[in-house]
A and B are shown apart, each in its own frame.
Chain A
Amino acid sequence: MIQLAKRVIRQTINDKRSVMLILVAPLLILTLVYFLLGDSDYVATVAIDPDAVPAPVIDALEQQELELVDITGDEADQALDYLQQHEDVDAVLRFPENSGMDITLYEPSTKGATAISEIQEAMADINPTAEAEVSYVYGTQDQTLFDSLGYVFLALFSFFFVFIISAMALVRERSRGTLERLMMTPIRRGEVIAGYTLGYSVFAVIQAIIIVLYAVFVLQLSNEGNIFWILLTMVLLAVTAVSFGATISIFAGSELQVVQLIPFTIIPQVFFSGLIPLDLIPYHLGNLSYIMPIYYGAAAIKGIMVYGDGLSDIWGYLAGLTAYALVLYVINTQALKKFRKL
């Protein structure tokens, strides 16, 4: 078993692209996600008819981080047409007679949401009793999307890259005939799977350490809990990924087919990993998450990073992952019977 693990390690190190995929690709994508979901300094543009808006409101709006554009009363009345013709304007603000405030947006988007929240803050300045104070049990209002969803990517990466590398390596082992040769030696079937898992676990540990340190200390991803538990979860998740990869390799005839199976193996897991709150998924489909290994990993990492959970709070998820890995281990050892009955 140790022999096999050593070989997997040596073989992976000699294949530069695999090393890049495991160690460099997650950092690259994490950085990209950081910039995409991070704090943007976007300044929304709001169009008003200065003659129809009360002066104190204009003063208050000017205090906010907003770009104000003056339009005529006619343009304001035709707000929909105006927005269609002026793509750089995010919202038209009007105060029609006999009613309150009227905001017209081009489309539901985060740009529009920025405009609305700035307008609301301006209104609160005029009338302090209308101010809504929002506070959170966990996290703060000025957390970026990256802070609140970052944990999902930690879970995804520790699963995805190890899965791809190990599934492909096992398919290659079968198609090259080295698996048949391996099964001609006195090695036990269980040792084959365990050796593989052990070999890739070494990379999983290195990968987890690099990703977590990079996310928390370089990208400043907010973390309430103990980094060690995050590492433990990521390694467990990666170990499950190796077993999962081994199982998928049974159904894949070639390396290309591993890629072709990604829509069935990985993409559903992405949706159930916490990107979408499970309660919002209709028809109780959220329950499907219980059959997906990434769910357990993501839930545990969320617990640690967002709620500051310790081992006593997340052990259930870790147990779920371990059970998953064990079931796959048994399936994989049985599947090797195809190559040798004993």
Chain B
Amino acid sequence: MDIQLSHVNKRFGDTAVIKDVSFTVAAGEICCLLGPSGSGKTTLIRLMIGALPADSGTIQFGDTEMPNMAILKRLGFMPQNDALYEDLSAQGNLAFFGGLYHLPKRTREARIAEVLDMVELTDHKRKLVKDFSGGMKKRLSLAIAILHEPDILFLDEPTAGIDPVLRRKIWAQFQSLKAQGTTIIVSTHVMDEVVECDKGALLYNGRLIEYDTVDRLLAKTDSGRIEDLFFAASESEARS
């Protein structure tokens, strides 16, 4: 399913946090949201999934304008904080969300085992989440987000605090999800991960300063480093 944002605005009190953002992501693409801390990445994701109402503008998934209950089922969301039930085991957390998504009983157990395997938590499935390390929580959170095989996956800094080896494995997972047709929106601080994506959306102070294919974005910089685009934006902001 493709995603279209058109002139989306959001204020918190007096401060505009998302300013007139429009872009389109085609089905089966990976689009990364890049931007310094506080630039509005999390807010934009929460607007897209309908957890926050936009002040103006429209957000469409396929032909359907959000928010919409039927579409909701087909979205997966991994929040920036872990959002897990600490007094439940990994298995318990997955079983709970699996039930809420009405995964059929017959296949539920198998699917839970599958995602636990993907994030390499099978050996820890009975442990309570409060005894998990930070990286283990992140991986469990990711497992919950992909549990019901969503069409569109929103990932808010999924690899923060995860070691490079596992990070590579997780990105391989994203690529295989993409190959199955999943559209992925992923926010990140790690500029190396940009090359894994098809599109890049650069947010700066709530404005979309660049939106293009990753190849073209890289071509716009002399150094081949995305950071330079932000330095340019901060300089032009300082001048005006």
- B23 close to A (CB within 8 Å): no
Residues of A within 8 A of B68 (CB): 342
- In this complex, what residue of B is CB-closest to A3? B99
With beta carbons under 8 angstroms apart, the residue of A7, A12, A186, A339 that contacts B51 is A339
Establish whether residues A340 and B100, one from each chain, have CB atoms under 8 Å apart when the complex forms.
no
- A75 close to B (CB within 8 Å): no
Establish whether residues A186 and B72, one from each chain, have CB atoms under 8 Å apart when the complex forms.
yes
With beta carbons under 8 angstroms apart, the residue of A11, A176, A340 that contacts B67 is A340
With beta carbons under 8 angstroms apart, the residue of B51, B86, B96 that contacts A183 is B51
CA distance A6 to B128 in the complex (A): 16
> Per-residue CB proximity of A165-177 to B under 8 Å, as 1/0?
0000000000011
- How many of chain A's residues have a CB under 8 angstroms from any CB in B? 24
- A141 close to B (CB within 8 Å): no
Establish whether residues B100 and A10, one from each chain, have CB atoms under 8 Å apart when the complex forms.
no
Establish whether residues A184 and B67, one from each chain, have CB atoms under 8 Å apart when the complex forms.
no
- B225 close to A (CB within 8 Å): no
Establish whether residues A341 and B79, one from each chain, have CB atoms under 8 Å apart when the complex forms.
no
Establish whether residues A184 and B53, one from each chain, have CB atoms under 8 Å apart when the complex forms.
no
Contacting B at CB under 8 A, from A146-191, are 176-178, 180-187
Give chain A nearest CB distance to B49 CB in angstroms. Answer: 6
Give chain A nearest CB distance to B8 CB in angstroms. Answer: 16
> Per-residue CB proximity of A101-132 to B under 8 Å, as 1/0?
00000000000000000000000000000000
Residues of B within 8 A of A135 (CB): none
Establish whether residues A185 and B83, one from each chain, have CB atoms under 8 Å apart when the complex forms.
no
- B73 close to A (CB within 8 Å): yes
- B228 close to A (CB within 8 Å): no
- B84 close to A (CB within 8 Å): yes
Contacting A at CB under 8 A, from B15-64, are 46, 49-51, 53
Establish whether residues A184 and B69, one from each chain, have CB atoms under 8 Å apart when the complex forms.
no
Establish whether residues A184 and B84, one from each chain, have CB atoms under 8 Å apart when the complex forms.
no
Contacting B at CB under 8 A, from A1-24, are 3-4, 6-7, 10-12, 14-15
Establish whether residues B69 and A186, one from each chain, have CB atoms under 8 Å apart when the complex forms.
yes
CA distance A341 to B100 in the complex (A): 18
Given known pairs A10-B92, A186-B102, A187-B100, the reply for A341 and B84 (CB within 8 Å) is no
Nearest 3 pairs of A and B residues by beta carbon: A177-B83, A3-B99, A185-B100
Interface residues, chain B, with chain A CB atoms under 8 Å away = 46, 49-51, 53, 67-69, 72-73, 75, 77, 79, 81-88, 92, 96-97, 99-102, 128, 144
